[in-house]
Amino acid sequence: MLLAVLLAGCAGPPGPPGASVQDPATGSAPGSDAFPVTIDNCGVEVTVTQAPTSIVTLNQGATEQALGLGLANRMAGTAYLDDEVAARFAADYARVPVLSPEYPSLEQFLAAGPDLALTSYESSFTDEVVGTREELASRGIATYVDPLDCPRTPGAAEPGFEDVWSALREIGRLTGASAAAEELVAAQEAQLGAVDVAAAPGTTVLWYDSGEDTPFVGVADSGPAIILDALGADNVFGHLDGGWADGSWETVLEADPDVIVLPDALWSTAEDKIDYLEQDPVLRELTAVREERYVVVPFSETTPGVRLVDGAVHVAEQLADLDLADVGRGVGSR
């Protein structure tokens, strides 16, 4: 049985090595990892005693992390898409049951028989969704939250792609897929290293996620900040803590950003946001709106997960296409 042990506080050391585990779907070993494995995840100690065989992912970021590690044969269910699954994962995704278009109910979740649940957001593990981590542990279900959604320790370094890759390695350890994780991280390091950032340094950017009366924006601690920092761009709201937060149009107007990044999600499309900006009598006077300096990326390339590097590539490519060499730089906060 897969045992989940969750205790607040620091993680203990990994348990003693165990025998290799065979993948029930393929008959091959999931990886070279030894079990049990114990990690500290957002202040919660998580232990798995053997390679999970019934993994449930609760949103797209976690789903694509699992698919990227080659775990499709051991996935019992997925939920909550933000946009289309990446083409490279589509065939494997089609083989995994979809429990719900958004978060599953507790009944739907338990019916899948999970022994490990993965999510990008702590909000998945609440009484309103599938239950708390402690409750799930009591049912023998291990849980993992992407650490980029965990509260940042005061004084800790701002997050970067190393944190994205650390999460992949941790999921690899928990699932017996460490070799696949290392291969994926190496590929992403090379992908990021090849990004042309010549157009980005000093460019002021509004990362406009959603909202009209009050803009919901990318701030200091999650995917948007990681991308903009890697490219050397200045985030208008980079002084605010958290991953995303309510900003203000007054701050946007004062900064008059060079570029507006528009995540494209099923529930807040880039087209809808552009329409709002261009029809508002005040916001349409922003330089980026007048000159249509928009960068559009799938929402799933802006959140913690395996596609964040793709987001950096696509933002960099579109900034280069905007030919910003002669643009006067704004007064971004980062």
Q: Which of 185, 184, 269, 195 is nearest to 227 (CA)?
A: 195
Confidence of residue 61 (pLDDT cuts 50, 70, 90): very high
Contact 61, 171 (CB under 8 A): no
pLDDT class for 200, splitting at 50, 70, 90? confident
Residue 1 has pLDDT above 70, yes or no: no
Q: Residue 240 pLDDT > 50, yes or no? A: yes
- What CA–CA distance (Å, rounded) separates 283 from 276? 9
- The end-to-end CA distance of the chain, in Å, is 48
Structure tokens at 251: 């701050």
Q: Render pLDDT for 10-56 as a digit per residue (tens, 0 to 9).
A: 333 233 223 333 343 333 344 557 899 999 999 999 999 999 999 99
Q: Is the pLDDT of residue 214 over 60?
A: yes
Question: Strand, helix or coil at 14?
Answer: coil
For residue 315 the two structure tokens come to: 């933002």
Q: Are 276 and 198 in contact (CB under 8 A)?
A: no
* H/E element, 107: helix 106-111
* Rounded-to-integer distance, Cα 311 and Cα 233, Å: 14
Phi, psi of 312 (to 5 degrees): -60, -40
Residue 184, SS3 per DSSP: helix
Q: What is the arithmetic mean of pLDDT over 169-190?
A: 98
CB-based burial of residue 269 (10 Å sphere; 0-12 exposed, 13-18 middle, 19+ buried)?
A: middle
More confident residue, 196 or 264: 264
Contact between residue 116 and residue 2 where contact means Cβ atoms under 8 Å apart: yes
Q: Where are the beta strands (DSSP E) in the chain?
A: 37-41, 44-48, 55-57, 75-79, 98-100, 116-119, 142-145, 204-210, 216-218, 234-235, 244-246, 259-264, 294-298
Bridge partners (DSSP) of residue 78 are: 98
CB 306 within 8 A of CB 64: yes
**The one-letter amino acid at 326:** D
Checking DSSP bridges between strand 204-210 and strand 216-218, what pairing results, if any?
A: antiparallel
Q: How many CB atoms lie within 10 A of CB 320?
A: 15
